[in-house]
Amino acid sequence: MQLTQHPARPALPGVPAAHARGVIGLALILFLVTCVFDPADKLLGIKVWVFLLCWILTIALHPGLTLLRGLPIGLAVYVTAFLAIPLVSIAYYAITDGGQPYAGFDLLKGYILITLAPLLVLNRVTLLRELSAVLTLLAISILGVFVLLLLDPDFYAALHAFGSSTGIVFVDVRDYGSDVTLLQVYFVTSPMLVISIAYYFHQAMASSARPAKLRYFALVGVSATGMLLAGTRNNIVVSVLLPIALWLMYARRRALGAALSAIAVAFILVLFSGELQTFFDPTEHSNSLKLALVNDYARIFEDPIALLFGQGLGAYHYWDATGKSFYVTELTYLELVRSFGLVGGAVMFGLLVFPIAYAFASNKSLKLRAVVIGYAFYLLMCASNPNLFSSMGILFLSVILAMIYLARGAGQRPRNVLQP
């Protein structure tokens, strides 16, 4: 097994190029596995080291100016801007406050992961297929744990302890009130299943052979079911709406597709009206807490300095809604403004939505459009959870950027990360 790349690239001194490419390929696969199954890096503690290994090998295979020549200017500008905003914010905090505790450098690690995008482009891979395969294993794991708990509830305590110590999975019987209780098998990376849903949906629609089409739709079902059983409001809603949105995009008769999609959504709304009303009840504990946090943000932004320049990435704040002081909330986009101010937050948000705008304005690739629809749903989910600027969200963004810039570059056709 070896990483596919241009045969003219130099090898490491004393190491055959095929072997070096094989090591990069295996390291990238291992990095995906650690991001999906050990996101907090508490179980193995190797995520950062594997990422560094990928970069060391990539630099060694692109000596001197070869590295710079292989990097698209647009991507270099994008990555520079993505890193500059948090760095300026940290410097601003150091100048204006500088107090402790402070978490800006811890949060910066998530932003640094955007350098995965140029690494993928230099190696001419996107990792989309491989990431979807790993996420399928995640969905199967959710299904397996769910069935295991139904068959033998005694495993609940052991799984709960494992999840609490590793930050990988949280099992709970979630009580939303109004007699709505759900067994929740929440792997923290389960929101990323939007990637495999979108990828396999495209593969199904692009396949002409009936067996392949059925196989890919089965994989869509596995990912959607895994996302559904993860049990959060976001996961449940998106696991249903994303396939409908993708089906609408691929519909040959858009008007008919839109009408049928609207009927499907209306049917779901009526069938599960009681559950949905409970999910979005403003008096439910989680919902009421988020609404109270909005009031806290409103008070913060009454200060024009905080509104324009932010408080700094990783700055602690005392939140009346919780009676505690901490440095990040689940309201991601309000956090952008609190951290970076209006200007910095607007630029960062523009960088986040750039792939969506590009896919529909400048690109004819249905695969890219399918993936960015999944990404758009992911951005919506992140409005009320803090997963965006983590290894989950930035990995997703990096894969899409690699798809865009490899497709734009002459002779930069993306390949699969490993080939026989």
Predicted confidence (pLDDT) per residue in 209-237, tens digit: 999 999 999 999 999 999 999 878 889 88
Model confidence band, residue 310 (pLDDT cutoffs 50, 70, 90): very high
What does the pLDDT average to over 21-26? 82
Sign, CA dihedral 69-71-77-80, equals negative
**Helix, strand or coil, per DSSP, at residue 285:** helix
Query: What is the H or E stretch that residue 175 is in?
Result: strand 169-175
What does the pLDDT average to over 173-181? 64
373 contacts 195 by C-beta, under 8 angstroms: no
Which pLDDT value is given to residue 416? 57
One-letter amino acid for residue 81 of the chain: A
377 is a domain residue: yes
Which pLDDT value is given to residue 305? 92
284 is a domain residue: yes
CA–CA distance, 135 with 53 (Å, rounded to integer): 23
What does the pLDDT average to over 121-149? 93
pLDDT reading at 349 higher than 90: yes
Backbone Cα Rg of the chain: 22
Residue 45 phi, psi dihedral angles, 5° rounding: 70, 30
Model confidence band, residue 278 (pLDDT cutoffs 50, 70, 90): low
Chain position carrying tokens 């629809």:
373
If one counts every other C-beta atom within 10 angstroms of the C-beta of residue 155, the result is 14
Q: Give the distance from CA 87 to its chain's centroid.
A: 22
What does the pLDDT average to over 256-270? 69
27 contacts 57 by C-beta, under 8 angstroms: yes
Strand pairing class (324-326; 181-187): unpaired
Residue 322, token pair as written in the block: 């919780």
Angstrom distances, CA of residue 3 to CA of 29, 35, 96: 11, 20, 47
12 is a domain residue: no
Model confidence band, residue 10 (pLDDT cutoffs 50, 70, 90): very low
pLDDT reading at 57 higher than 60: yes
Q: Which of the two residues, 379 and 161, has the higher pLDDT score?
A: 379
Angstrom distances, CA of residue 385 to CA of 23, 38, 244, 302, 328: 35, 18, 23, 24, 10
- What is the share, in percent, of the chain residues with pLDDT greater than 70? 82
What does the pLDDT average to over 59-78? 80
40 contacts 167 by C-beta, under 8 angstroms: yes
CA–CA distance, 59 with 197 (Å, rounded to integer): 33
92 is a domain residue: yes
54 is a domain residue: yes
**How does 365-381 read in b/e, with b if 16+ C-beta sit within 10 Å?**
eebbbbbbbbbbbbbeb
417 is a domain residue: no
What does the pLDDT average to over 124-130? 92
9 is a domain residue: no
Model confidence band, residue 277 (pLDDT cutoffs 50, 70, 90): low
296 is a domain residue: yes
Model confidence band, residue 8 (pLDDT cutoffs 50, 70, 90): very low
The whole domain housing 76 covers 17-408
Which pLDDT value is given to residue 239? 92
HEC string for 230-247: CCCHHHHHHHHHHHHHHH
pLDDT reading at 258 higher than 50: yes
What does the pLDDT average to over 60-73? 75
Average pLDDT, the chain: 85
Q: What is the pLDDT of residues 381-395, one digit of tens each?
A: 999 888 898 888 999
pTM, full prediction: 0.88
Strand pairing class (181-187; 169-175): antiparallel
Number of domains in the chain: 1
